[in-house]
Amino acid sequence: MKKLILSLIVLAIAFTANAQSNVKTIGIKTSAICEMCKENLEKDLTFEKGVKSVNLDLETKVLNIAYIDGKTNPDLLRKRVTMVGYNADSLPRDPKAYEKLDPCCKDGAHPTPKKGDN
């Protein structure tokens, strides 16, 4: 009986270690531009299935995500980012979601300053 309990404990430890090794990280290049974008993306992705942690680096515009492999995958995560209204690597943002963003979050696809604007 003792042996059985012992092997069960060993199994449990092995299982836990295995579950942890299933955590992967990914960096997704987004079109985020301000603090509001950071909040939009982090809030939304936090509640995505399989996501452990989310952090957007505003300087590089890279959304760093730790996720559980098997519960979600990079394609799903990129898709989710586009549904919030931002480009994700080579995936274009969802136009409707982009429309709903606050004005400060719209980059106007590289707006060109008009002459004599000041």
Q: Is 58 in the site for Cu ion (CB under 5 A)?
A: no
Shorter beta-carbon distance to Cu ion: residue 77 or 84: 84
Give the residues across from 28 on adjacent strands. 63
Is the CB of residue 108 less than 8 Å from the CB of residue 65?
no
**Least distance to Cu ion from the beta carbon of 7, Å?**
54
Shorter beta-carbon distance to Cu ion: residue 37 or 77: 37
Distance, in Å, from the CA atom of 54 to the CA atom of 88, rounded to the nearest integer, reads 14
Q: Is 37 in the site for Cu ion (CB under 5 A)?
A: yes
Q: Is 97 in the site for Cu ion (CB under 5 A)?
A: no
Q: Is 28 in the site for Cu ion (CB under 5 A)?
A: no
Q: Provide CB contacts within 8 A for 10, sequence distance 6+.
A: none
